[in-house]
Structure 1
Amino acid sequence: MLFLIVFHIIVSLSWTGVCGWNGSPGYKDAPTKKTDVGGSCPPGFQWNIVDQRCEDIDECGDDTHTCDQFQNCINTLDGYECRCKPGFELDSSAESCVDIDECALNQHFCSNGQQCLNLPGSFSCIPDVTTTTTQSPSEDNGSSEYNPEPAFDCDDGYKRHEGHCVDIDECRDGTHACDDYQDCVNTLGGHKCRCKHGFELDSSSGSCVDIDECRDGTHTCDDHTDCVNTLGGHECQCTLGFELDPASESCVDIDECRNGTYVCDDHTDCVNTLGGYECQCMDGFELDSSSGSCVDIDECRDGTHACGYRQDCVNTLGGHECRCKLGFDLDPASGLCVDIDECRNGTYVCDDHTDCVNTLGGYECQCMDGFELDSSSGSCVDIDECRDGTYVCGYRQDCVNTLGGHECRCKLGFELDPASGLCVDIDECRDGTHACDDHTDCVNTYGGHKCRCKHGFELDSSSGSCVDIDECRDGTHACDDHTDCVNTLGGHECRCKLGFELDPASGLCVDIDECETGEAPCAYSSDAGSVCKNTRGSYFCYHIDCPPGYKLDAKQRCVRKRSGCQLRRWQCSQQPDLYCHKFFTFVANASLPFGKVDFYTMPRPSELWIALFTKVNYELRVVSVQASPGVQPADLSCFKKRVLFNGCVVSLRCSLPGPQVVELELTRSIVGSTRLARSTVVRLFVIISQY
């Protein structure tokens, strides 16, 4: 009992620092290795070299107890008890067992003619010599003296009754030593204590302990129920996706599709399954493995449409349409696409020197007499004497074809000199006849000029003009990750992105700490549960809401109230003692030189009794992921836990895109020999910034 009191005192005083510290192991609070564990057992226990654990000392069995001859030694966990033997009772003033005087208390069964003689722990009935009867002559029946019953003693576990020794039923009269988890079975001269149904004997402690039917597989729960162990038995609760049917008293499947509790996208149908449901894509949609959502099937692209050879397939949401190709029209009578005669209905476009000839799905323009087809343009053109070499023109002159003939004109960039009759160069840059605009510089050349693009401009090959160079788009700007490039005519500007501001000293854009400046709505909040964390280019606001039965302390921890649990005592013991909250910020796509970065360490429990008598387990899981549209959400594979000397280190293993917030839950459970001793939950918020 003293050990249990000390144990509870140690637990109540050992919660300082259970939430751990931020950083890598090896920098501080590095665990030390304990080698001498054989001499650390508490009082009432001794070290078992074979099993390598502390086991109870049986003081009654090895005769190391201090009970006297009037007491029975009863072994207990971590000690023993001295109980008065039958026929003795505890004298509270002397704190010792004294004899019960059955004769004085009239608790004997001596008959008339017998005298009660008190003995240590018992009594005896002897003949009463003072009641010898002498009969008168008138009453003489042949006997001259009364013969009393001889005195005798019964063995332990028996009592005298009507001159005989009969068995004492300790189970019925309540003198047995069985506890609440045992059934008393009477035997001749004694009794036995057997474990009640739902309990079994613990060989190490000698007491009856609860049987966990859920763990050893002796429960009666079926595939649709979860086994929950109770003291002396177990309960079968319906698993997720099932509910109790009062008529059959069995767990039946919940039809989420029928009762409307399903959550499916607009392009999916709910299909009920055993214990849940599935969201299956509607007809005309298919599952996109990258986004996990149903997207439209493009029947026109994958060739699953039913359009004919005179039709064009046009994709629609969830289906497609078949429309007549250009040059065809739908015939309402036959439902087929038929040819349009453009020559007859006047919808053709032909030159003046061509005739329209209808074809299937279109028409042709054929040259009239005196014209020929231009193979490059496909149109009917006049015979070009300049092209076929039948013209006669001088040097620096161009042949200009005319309808039915040609002319000789000074080449472009030259003009006729009336004095000499020759074509001379024109300086377009000097006389202002050049075609250069404000974005170009004019450079005269022989027979023409060139327009060279000014700085910040480039030649557009399609239009032949100088257009502004968009340095922001082609990546030739000088803006960094913290600035937005804004294109200007002939140049660009670098403006700080939202969440950044210009540092006049360095000329660089630096991050704005919205939590420090008060721009964040959660900054400077008087609410103890309000958390503000600055990120690169933004901020993160969070409010800590403690679960029912917990209260928030000054260190932003949710601590369980002493009277906060309204459940059963066993269920209350399964709840964590406290919830801690830790926040970590990382830049998007951060470099991991060694493939990982350790960002949180939960130290080992500092109490010696935990290392000796318990086992420390750690469990890491993802609670939620909030990722912006288009950002790949992180999963548990990007995080790793490793246990070092009963402590736990959590590492980031992926270079994550942002922005997104990953909420992890690290649970430390301290498990004793038969049940959970206590647990602590740490909520880890990994905040990935946008930049």
Structure 2
Amino acid sequence: MDLKCTLIVFGFFLLSSESRGCGVGLKREKGKCVDEDECETLNRCGENAQCFNTQGSYYCTCHKGFQSKTPNFTATAGQCVDINECLEKTSACSDGMVCVNTIGSYKCTCPEGFDLDTRLDLGCEDIDECKKDPDVCGTNAECNNQEGSFICECVSGYSNYGNSQSKCTDIDECKKDPDVCGTNAECNNQEGSFICECNPGYSNYGNSQSKCTDIDECNKDPDVCGTNAVCRNHPGGYTCECDPGYSNYGNSQSKCLGGISDNQCKAFNGFMCSKQINAQISRKRCQYHI
């Protein structure tokens, strides 16, 4: 048994010695040194490369769109990496097109706002966003096509607040400018507009978006206080100052009516009232009785 084991070990030693007698990249078969095909090993050159066997060796080359530091390399001397044709300016994109790198290649696309002209293969043509989408700016703006873009020009009373490609919304002028109607009116926002509703005694004279000014009722209607009073205008109103012997009985904006004059009262055991007016004696004075 010991002799048998010894012979087996000796046989392996001879085979090992015989194999070691072949050069690098060779293997012993049937007592001869023959080439060893390193490319039979899966992914010998790594991803994106092709293996080429040679006598006693091999070399790797990169697939199209990839490169290594040296043209021919081995698995221990290099690796294939993607070529960025866009950065190295080796792409064939026509003028006006944008180069986009891909793994192992590249593609030519149109910039934003342009589309590929497939009719004559002339590259990129402008997209008319206004025709493509008539509602792109909504109903409160006019769409204006630009080269590679578009803008929404808002109608009066609307805004897109600096974003020229968004739809326009109503401007609340009352919030935007609290003094737009002044202090003598109330601002009432409308869709796309606003109106100033004047306080009593003020007017904007038909221009509903202007500030309200005082109405001079005395000039507007010279007879507003009648003939028995003087009209005094003041901001937001007026007063009728009655002549002596006339009164508007607490309503300072009404006309003055005939009152009681001194000569209508005659002394007789004190004071007595004229029979021509509705009056009564009170505390020895002639008073008008309403």
Is the shorter-chain TM-score for this pair beyond 0.5, marking a shared fold? no
**Structure 2 length as normaliser, TM-score?**
0.37
**Structure 1 length as normaliser, TM-score?**
0.18
Q: Which is richer in strand?
A: 1
Q: Which protein, 1 or 2, shows the higher relative CO under an 8 Å CA cutoff with sep ≥ 6?
A: 1
